[in-house]
Amino acid sequence: MNFKKGIKKTLYIFIYLSIIVLTILSATCDAYIEPIVYDNFECSGFDCGVGWLGDWVYSGNCEVTDTNSPIEAYHLIGSKFVDNATGCIAERKVNFSNYVIHENITLEFFAKGWGLEITDYCSYIYFDGYENHTLLSLTEGDERDYQSFRFSSGDYNFSENSSFIFFADVDGTQDYCYLDDFFFADISLLNNETIVEETPFEIDYSNLSNVILLFILLFAYLGVMALGFTFKNGGFVSFGFFIGIVLGFMLSGFNVFLTLVFIFMNIVVIWNFIKR
């Protein structure tokens, strides 16, 4: 076989397989992490997140800050100015009219209070377009580290005039209410156990080293296969096939169907080599 033709054909195979694998990975990841409404305050302002209608509108002593142990780098804190008896009131609107609300849709946020007395309240309120619903109220004795609170969409109406209200009704300058990591999303995005079955090769892809290992194996697979087809070397192709099987099981961390597709593609590649 002409050496230039071999290199050209190998390059085509490399590009073809790269596009297929990376496209599938990209589509799988994007579908998995996108919520309907989200705000973690990580832009360090009142305009973070996605899915909202406008920014947080607030009055009183409301602050997005990195002090007092946020979940990540920033969170929303409500307290009290000396001359302000209302503490902090912050509200952000969201239009739910474009979404199909069903039993899997869930509202979740993280909250905590600090230095609260019997007259202090940290209130987390949902406005359904017609009336307020107090989802959570923290007061004296409820001081704690951040905890998540989850509410089912079946308990409330969701309309084009909906909003979420954060109210720090405190009377002292050292009394604080906190809000972080607000979600309104499919419950399966927040709790993997509800939709992901046990896989024989479970890998935590939140760990950067595992992601790096995945891509090292991917390019090792493509490189070994390219060498095998270029020089018609069955040893390289067999080794590449083995790497491909391991890689296929690793992809089950994203989706079992992705594993089946990759292994099938791997079998097709080695079958084409055998026929030649």
Mean pLDDT of the chain: 75
Q: Is 90 exceeded by the pLDDT of residue 125?
A: yes
User: Going by C-beta distance under 8 Å and a sequence separation of 6 or more, which residues neighbour residue 247?
Assistant: 214, 217, 218, 221, 262
Q: Delimit the domains of the chain by residue range.
A: 3-33+196-275, 37-194
Rounded to 5°, the CA angle 205-199-108 comes to 55
Q: What pLDDT shows up at residue 198?
A: 37
For residue 56, what are the CA distances in angstroms to 7, 48, 75, 224, 240? 57, 9, 13, 53, 53
Burial 10-37 (b: 16+ CB within 10 A, else e): beebbeebeeebeebbeeeeeeeeebbb
Q: Where does residue 168 rank: exposed (0-12), middle (13-18), buried (19+ CB within 10 A)?
A: buried
93 vs 205, residue with greater confidence = 93
Q: 54: phi > 0 → left, psi -120 to 50 → alpha, else beta; which?
A: left
| Helix or strand holding residue 257 (H, E) | helix 256-275
With the CA atoms of 116, 118, 122 and 128 taken in that order, what torsion angle do they form, in degrees rounded to the nearest 10?
Answer: 180
> Tokens standing for 132?
């307020």
Task: Give me the CATH topology for the region 37-194.
Answer: Jelly Rolls (2.60.120)
Q: How confident is the model over 225-262, as pLDDT tens digits?
A: 778 777 777 777 778 777 877 777 777 666 677 777 77
Provide, rounded to the nearest whole percent, the portion of the chain with pLDDT above 90.
Answer: 24
177, 113 in Cβ contact below 8 A? yes
Q: What pLDDT shows up at residue 124?
A: 95
Q: How far is Cα 19 from Cα 15, in angstroms, rounded to an integer?
A: 6
| Helix or strand holding residue 208 (H, E) | helix 208-231
The 3 state secondary structure assigned to 121-168 is: EEEEEEECCCCEEEEEEECCCCCCCCEEEEEEHHHCCCCCCEEEEEEE
237, 270 in Cβ contact below 8 A? yes
Q: How confident is the model over 55-100, as pLDDT tens digits?
A: 999 998 899 999 888 998 999 999 876 565 668 999 999 877 766 6
* C-beta atoms surrounding 276 within 10 Å: 8
Average pLDDT over residues 197-210: 49
- Asked whether the whole model's pTM tops 0.75, one would answer no
Q: How far is Cα 80 from Cα 68, in angstroms, rounded to an integer?
A: 16
